[in-house]
């Protein structure tokens, strides 16, 4: 899937890049809902348009999933120096050993 940036003129007309004009033809048909507009060549086969939209939908889902994963990685990758971690006053120092919390003061 290729993303295109579109520009509008002072009268509100949208200017389409040549690549888009080749795809949608001279008289494109538009289908709109609350959030999107789909443009396609009025002569296009409906099954081809549906298949094409399914590919676009798959790509958008993949991009959203990838973005969520990226955000999750960045939120967990804060580089914190262990020396800077100070336990709250009055708490017992602890560490993690083999995936379990252990008391540092206990003999191993």
CA 17 to chain centre: 24
pTM tops 0.85: no
Q: Tokens in use for 11?
A: 């009268």
Residue 1: name the closest of 32, 23, 21, 30 by CA. Answer: 23
Q: In the prediction, which pLDDT does 44 show?
A: 93
Parse the chain into domains and list their residue ranges. 1-67
41 CB burial (10 A radius; 0-12, 13-18, 19+): middle
Sign of CA dihedral 89, 92, 98, 100: negative
Mean pLDDT score, 25-44: 92
Convert the pLDDT of each residue in 42-80 to its tens digit: 999 999 999 999 999 999 999 899 888 888 777 765 555
What mean pLDDT value characterizes the chain?
A: 78
């Amino acid at each position: 899937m290729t993303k295109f940036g579109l520009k509008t003129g002072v009268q509100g007309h949208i200017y389409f890049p040549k690549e888009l004009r080749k795809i949608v033809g001279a008289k494109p048909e538009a289908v709109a809902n609350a959030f999107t507009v789909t443009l396609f060549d009025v002569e296009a086969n409906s099954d081809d348009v549906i298949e094409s939209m399914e590919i676009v939908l798959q790509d958008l889902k993949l991009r959203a999933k990838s973005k969520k994963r990226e955000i999750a990685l960045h939120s967990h990758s804060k580089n914190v120096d262990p020396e800077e971690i100070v336990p709250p006053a009055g708490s017992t120092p602890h560490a993690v050993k083999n995936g379990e919390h252990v008391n540092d003061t206990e003999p191993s």
